[in-house]
Structure 1
Amino acid sequence: MEKRQEEHVYRVEGFSCAGCAGTFEKNVKRIDGVKDAEVNFMASKITVYGSATIPQLEKAGAFEQLRVRPEGEELDESETKPQSFLMKYWHVLLAALFIGLGFTSQLVNGEEHVFTVSAFFASIVIGGYSLFKVGLQNLVRLTFDMKTLMFVAVIGAAIIGEWGEGALVVILFAISEQLERFSMDRARRSIRSLMNIAPKKATVLRNGEELTLRVSEILIGDMLKIKPGEKLAMDGVVTKGHSSINQSAITGESIPVEKKAGDPVYAGTLNTEGYLEVEVTKLVKDTTLSKIIHLVEKAQEERAPSQSFIDRFAKYYTPAIMVVALFVAILPPLIAGASWEAWIYQGLAVLVVGCPCALVISTPVAIVTAIGNAAKQGVLIKGGVYLEELGHVKAVAFDKTGTLTKGHPAVTYFNNVSDDSDENVWSTVAAIEAYSQHPLAGAIVRKVDKLGVDYKEKELIDFQSITGKGVKATLNGETTWIGNKQLFVEDLQLTFSNEIKTTLNTLQSEGNTVMIVGNERGVKAVIGVADEARENSRSVLKRLNEIGIKESVMLTGDDPKTAAAIAKRLGVSSVKAELLPDEKLSAVKALREQYGSVAMVGDGVNDAPALAASSVGIAMGGAGTDTALETADVALMGDDLEKLPYTIALSRRALTIIKQNITLSLGLKLIALLLVIPGWLTLWIAILADMGATLLVTLNSLRLLRVKK
């Protein structure tokens, strides 16, 4: 709690590489008053625990000219205005000019001429100033990253007189760095596009006065005026007007949703038709859009298993490359009497080709792109670990009510077998079910309300819910039981007549859930309730089967016959019925033992234990459903089951691309290193191999943006 109270989050502008982000984090941790710091490179943020001023933070990032601002603080228009190409890349262009002069002079005057060396020296200093500054600091601190390797390689090239090669390495490295910066910005753009969805200002009615305010100044209870074609700046409830709202930014739904007085609306959504007045219900930091952005950024910060492995690998890989380079430089001259100058040059080339740049970004750039793409489609994946795990899933377990079905059951059958009137039976049943939270209870109450039967005045005592079976309560001195067959057979020890048995079997075979009304003396009525299946459930299950999901299982508390009828209609592989919450948990554990990796799809509340026990918990959550956002590893924001096959396909595609990236980054380096054997590896080939690998893994990762629902 103390740590959270001292937590300060800042946006960072100017990150070019993961290694630089790590250096910045270490520098910030050295500031007096800072207890801890955590950099989220992919989201361009730093969380500081303790106290530090903006100038102190920018001084810690001076090696890369980082700019820091508090999260939530808007940049001035002058700061957000893009720099001209010349201003942004002047040092690279000037270094390129000098290297051109150097090579021209080399042709005319020779490579050792003072003008040739001076031109190359100027190119090295101008293009590599920040590289040398950080590289030297790292070398002094015995911190080995790509800038350390490049520093040693360029200085070594200058010492042995390879000024042209040294200048070429610097210019290619500067270009590579800018390409990496550009590609990472391209990957981060998915978050930035989310941030820009909602307007920064809104028209507000406050105390009878119309004001235009920044969203940070808008308070709960303020009234927003939303004209046709305008986007909503805040979450709220419609108080006046009628319109259709395009919620695709939040839920991924392409069809606008009708909104009227009393309906919730969300920041970042578009009012397409009528005029609306909306009462603000959440501050800007608490809106659904803000929570989505926060979760996506946290997700990108979470390290996937492959990313953690690469980070550990790179930690030992860089020092190992330095040792290999040393051996390449000294062993051939010592053992075979080869040229010291030639093999020192080869050793320097090994240092350059050994830069772990492409390897380090091979996983995070793919994960960032995939999670950002999913967020745009209305799917929140809470971290790279869940993205990867979802790609390994072989079986999917579904809750029935509200997941495969709409979750709005309706009464389909009623048969009164007692001497009491239908009206009295309905009145008693509704009075008891009004106390229950079960979806079937809601169907009963809605039916009785529609019939116009009065039940609200009945005095009820000793209401009791019997988990997995039903409810009971006492009215007018008589206890009435309402529930499934097990309740009456196991608890009340009743024997049903043949007529009742036939009715139960018929209703269950048609997919109805049967509710029996009665007491210790016998059955008074039979009610059939059916939960309508979602229109797309069957097509979703078929698609899952097509993409390689071996088993789809429906977990439900329903009667086996009812569950089997629904499962057959939808095409579910297998059914486990009459399950209590703890039995659902056991069923998921059994599936994990059988298939290894299992996803559980539920509503995020009732299925919490089963969701937690699965490899990946997936919540069906409508927009603004906080529970779905908080309880599951993945949330389908539009309450749309069709997003499930897309999400699994995306995660599998991401796994494939991560493997391709690792193979590409290591493969290109290995090929370049093999050129050492005949002595063909040059410094410019080495840096081109590193730059090419970085560019290839980035472009390959950006292909994930093309995966659509």
Structure 2
Amino acid sequence: MKVYRVHGLDCVECANKFERNVKRLAEVQDAKVNFGASKIVVYGSTTIEALEKAGAFENLKIQDEKEGTMESQPIWKQKKSLKVYLSAVILMASWILSMQWGGQSPLPIIGYAAAILIGGYALFMEGLKNLLHLDFDMDTLMTIAILGAAAIGKWEEGATVVILFAISEALESYSVDAARQSIHSLMEIAPKETLIRRGTLELMVPVEEIKIGDIMVVKPGQKLAMDGRVVKGASVINQAAITGESIPVTKAVNDPVYAGTLNEEGLLEVKVTKRAEDTTLARIIHLVEEAQTAKAPTQTFVDRFAKVYTPVIIVSSLLLAGIPPLVMGASWGDWLYRGLALLVVGCPCSLVISTPVAIVTAIGNAARNGVIIKGGIPLENAGALKVIAFDKTGTLTKGVPEVTDIVALRRNEQSVMTLAAAIEKGSQHPLASAICRKAEKDGLNVNDIVVEAFQSVIGKGVRARVNQENFYIGSPLLFEETLPDGIDMVIGKQIQSLQKQGKTVIVFGTESEILSLIAVADELREASSAVIRKLHQAGIGQTVMLTGDNKKAAESVGKAAGVSIVQAELLPEDKLALIKDLCERYQEAAMVGDGVNDAPALAEATVGIAMGASGTDTALETADIALMSDDLTKLPYIINLSHQAMAVIRQNVSLSLAIKAVSIVLIFPGWLTLWMAVFADVGATVIVTLNSLRLSRVQD
């Protein structure tokens, strides 16, 4: 498999034709064009020369994906544009001659013919070749229309159509390039070279030559070229390019940093942890480009409609040109002219491009705001959501729980916390981290304790052996099952009292008794309640909090956040079952989580939204939508962007069909000229493209 960038790919039909041509090349098993990213994936072996030959109909230029950006000339400076300028001058001169001499001189007709040939030569060559293959694309339809106009003596209109078609192609190219600019701008964020220290030498090294383990020296005001970890210095880093966070983040030794972010203050030395092609920024660009190949349901419908619509227009043009003269004795010239006008105005370009350009623009806007939307399907589904489920820890709460109470029942507090922390060192659970942090803060020596036979009890806690004695630490449910007589009533009341305060209670003990209760509290994020309120205002009917925490603590957090429903004491499989149920009941349901513990639920939801994806590869791979930071305020932005994107797509489709309908009606009384037909068709294409570009201004 090999990926190439394609320059000059301005219309969906051209992309489809290029893909078909490449598939016909020898030794190419398959090929897939990504119109939004302007790339082609080739399966098999080929050369750039062969690919450019396959794209010669549109003068496409091909480049290896790994090479630097190809410098492209503005369209008004390209060779094909010079021919159009000359053609336009000849057209104007011929028009002036015809006004002065009328029909007394053949010079105007010669001038019109010259303008047609000079300006439309490349169009005719491609159009005639397509006609032989019965491939009725825009070039074919325009060729038939222009030659038909000349055949019935409408030389000036044929020449005008050539000029207008060239101008419209230039405008379409400009509009599509503008839509892609949001993606291209991401590629320019990170420097192409940076200062690397190797031994005692400091030298500028291109990013492709930087190795994992190299020390990158980043001065104040410079952007980071690579992902890494700070090994010396401290500074404030602006991560807006990656996470969309408007407030810079303080970074010190051992903190991760990302390519494309800006060092605002101090001098940093950063140990490189990823190759250039594996940086978080590179993966964002790759995911965004790949996302554009996933068609939204609306786009799939439009594509199917266009495949039926085009043949119907061609047959209708033939019938319009032939039936009135044959049946009613009408003028062949008049009705042939009207048939040609229908052929031109019926081209589905604006209809086909109405959806992909909107999706490309919306996905690019989201990427600039630290949100990765993996294609048109999640973009469209996000606007149809009726219910959103949230994981509690690390999503609605800060995910950094702290120990608030220690109730030592059988041994002293120091002994209990030392043992508990030694055991919890083997766990990755946030509550375990809280106990370890508390022990470290109190200066307890946990490293001398030898922990054996450590085992996780899924969804309930852990067990381990210390000095030949078995210990358990986890939820009250774990001890209800472990102790012969369950939890004592007095201790049960103590647990309930702590839970009513919104705290999570961790029980520590042996197979026969409870040694201590450890209460932990996780603070609600400042933005949580405001985000939930905005989601309800945006049309989300139900918000659900899912957690493995006890019911009383969960209800306390849920009430503070303002969620509609709280589901507590859930195992991972329970969360998955609940998401399945929500999808069945509401058709469209989202799950918001950290992308690691919640991976099954994220995958099952109609739209899986992972938070804090800049720090985890799992989140980027699992979710349909990834928030690069832990910023919940991005959720209302996503819903708003989806609503606006779907509104723009509906406007584009409606506008395209309306313009064509009006134009077709005007053909029958003979009011629509050929040049007006061209203007209507390609004018509609430019209008829907420019309308799509409004999505680049949707604010976070």
TM-score, reference length from structure 2: 0.97
Q: Letter of the aligned partner of 1:264 in structure 2?
A: P
Question: Could you tell me whether the CA contact under 8 Å between 1:111 and 1:117 is conserved in 2?
Answer: no
1:194 Cα deviation from its structure 2 partner: 0.4
Of 351, 355, 359, which aligns to 1:359?
A: 351
Distance in 2 of aligned mates of 1:28 and 1:314: 23
2:82 counterpart residue number: 90
User: Does the C-alpha gap of structure 1 residues 48 and 594 become closer, same or farther in structure 2, counting only changes over 3 Å?
Assistant: same
1:19 paired to 2:10: no
Structure 1 regions of 5+ residues with no counterpart?
A: 1-6
The alignment partner of 1:669 has SS state of: helix
- Of the three residues 54, 74, 87, the one matched with 2:68 is 74
Superposed counterparts of 1:257-276, under 5 Å: 257-276=249-268
Contact (CA 8 Å) 1:12, 1:45: kept in 2 or not?
Answer: yes
The one-letter amino acid of 2:228's match is G
Deviation at 1:110, TM superposition (A): 2.5
Deviation at 1:634, TM superposition (A): 0.7
Counterpart residue identity of residue 401, structure 1: T
Partner Cα distance (1:111, 1:177) in 2? 33
Q: Pick from 34, 55, 58: which aligns with 1:61?
A: 55
Structure 1 residues 111 and 33: CA distance shift in structure 2, 3 A: farther
Asked whether the 8 Å contact 2:211–2:272 carries over to 1, the reply is yes
Amino acid at match of 1:487: L
Contact 1:494 1:520 in 2 (8 A): no
Deviation sequence 1:363-410 (CA, Å, 0-9, x none): 000000000000000000111111111111111011111111111111
| Counterpart-to-counterpart distance in 1, 2:90 and 2:484 | 97
Residue 621 of structure 2 corresponds to 630
Match of 1:250 in 2: 242
Find the aligned partners of 1:233 and 1:359 in 2 and give their Cα distance. 41
Q: Which moved more, 1:570-579 or 1:115-124?
A: 115-124
Cα distance, 1:457 vs structure 2: 2.1
Unpaired runs of at least 5, structure 2: none
Please give the per-residue CA displacement for 1:449-482, whole angstroms capped at 9, x wherever unaligned: 2122223322333333222222223333433322
Alpha-carbon distance in 1 for matches of 2:120, 2:156: 14
* Per-residue deviation, 1:496: 4.4
Structure 1 residues 112 and 54, CA, compared in 2 at 3 Å: closer, same or farther? farther
Q: Using the alignment, how far apart are the partners of 1:48 and 1:485 within structure 2?
A: 57
| Residue matched to 1:619 | 610
Q: Which residue of 1 aligns with 2:283?
A: 291
Partners of 1:502 and 1:604 lie apart in 2 by 36
Please show how residues 595-610 of structure 1 align to structure 2 within 5 Å.
595-610=586-601
State the secondary structure of the residue aligned to 1:139: helix
Question: Which residue pairs with 2:40 in the alignment?
Answer: 46
Equivalent of residue 670 in structure 2, options 661, 667, 679: 679
CA distance, structure 1, for counterparts of residue 451 and residue 210 of structure 2: 46
Which of 198, 210, 220 is equivalent to 2:212?
220
Would the aligned equivalents of 1:411 and 1:447 in 2 still touch at CA under 8 Å?
yes
Could you tell me how far apart the structure 2 residues matched to 1:113 and 1:289 are?
Answer: 66
Q: Which residue of 1 aligns with 2:127?
A: 135
Aligned runs of 1:98-109 on 2, under 5 Å?
A: 98-109=90-101
Q: What amino acid maps onto 1:539 in structure 2? A: A
Measured after TM superposition, the shift of residue 75 of structure 1 is: 5.0
The DSSP-based 3-state class of the residue aligned with 2:569 is coil
What one-letter code is carried by the residue in structure 2 that aligns with 1:141?
H
Specify whether residues 623 and 358 from structure 1 end up closer, same or farther in structure 2 by C-alpha distance, changes over 3 A only. same
**Aligned-residue offset at 1:80:** 5.0
Task: Give the alignment's Cα RMSD to 1 decimal.
Answer: 1.8
AA paired with 2:695? L
Aligned match of 1:423: 414
Shift in Å, 1:497: 4.7
Q: Does the 8 Å CA contact 1:488/1:494 hold for their aligned counterparts? A: no
User: What is the aligned-residue identity percentage?
Assistant: 56
Residue in structure 1 matching 2:547, options 529, 550, 556:
556
- Secondary structure of 1:126's partner? helix
Distance 1:81 1:101 in 2: 29
Q: Secondary structure at the match of 1:623?
A: helix
- Residue 4 (structure 1) aligns with: none
What is the CA distance between 1:211 and its match in structure 2? 2.1
| Residue 473 to residue 54, structure 1, CA distance change in 2 (3 Å) | closer
What is the SS of the residue equivalent to 2:254? coil
| Residues 255-285 of structure 1, C-alpha deviations (whole Å, 9 max, x = no match) | 1111222222111111111222222222111
- Alignment correspondent of 1:144: 136
Supply the AA of the counterpart residue of 1:43: A
- Measure, in 2, the Cα distance between the counterparts of 1:436 and 1:262: 21
Which amino acid is the alignment partner of residue 29 of structure 1? K
Q: Is 1:234 the counterpart of 2:226 in the alignment?
A: yes
Whole-angstrom CA distance in 1 between matches of 2:637 and 2:659: 32
Give the total of aligned pairs: 700
- Distance verdict in 2 for CA 1:251–1:550, change over 3 Å: same
State the Cα deviation string for residues 224-275 of structure 1 (Å, max 9, x = none): 2222111111112222222111111111111111122222211111111122
Instruction: Tell me which residue corresponds to 1:485.
Output: 476
- Asked if structure 1 preserves the Cα contact closer than 8 Å seen for 2:479 and 2:487, the reply is no
Partner of residue 34 from structure 1, selected from 28, 33, 36: 28
- Choose 100-109 or 137-146, whichever is displaced more: 100-109
Deviations 1:314-341 (A, max 9, x none): 1222111100111111111122221111
Q: Which deviates the most, 555-564 or 278-287? A: 278-287
Question: Are 2:192 and 1:200 equivalent residues in the alignment?
Answer: yes
Distance 1:108 1:320 in 2: 43
Change beyond 3 A, Cα 1:240–1:476: closer
- 1:82 and 1:224 map into 2 onto residues whose CA distance is 37
Once residues 484 and 531 of structure 2 are traced to their aligned partners in structure 1, the CA distance between those partners, rounded to angstroms, is 42
User: What is the CA distance between 1:435 and its match in structure 2?
Assistant: 2.2
The 8 Å contact of residues 387 and 540 in structure 2, kept in 1 or not, is answered as: yes
Q: Tell me the residue number matched to 1:568.
A: 559
TM-score by length of 1: 0.96
- Quickly say closer, same or farther: Cα 1:282–1:18, change in 2 above 3 A: same
**Conservation of the 8 A alpha-carbon contact between 1:206 and 1:223:** yes
CA distance, structure 2, for counterparts of residue 506 and residue 113 of structure 1: 105
Contact 2:531 2:636 in 1 (8 A): yes
Secondary structure at 1:229 match in 2: coil
**Aligned partner of residue 704 in structure 1, secondary structure:** helix
Confirm whether residue 331 of structure 1 aligns to residue 323 of structure 2: yes
After TM superposition, give the deviation of residue 174 of structure 1 in Å: 0.9
TM alignment of 1:289-438, pairs within 5 A? 289-418=281-410, 420-438=411-429
Q: Which of 687, 690, 696 is the matching residue for 1:696? A: 687
Question: What SS does structure 2 have at the residue aligned with 1:392?
Answer: coil
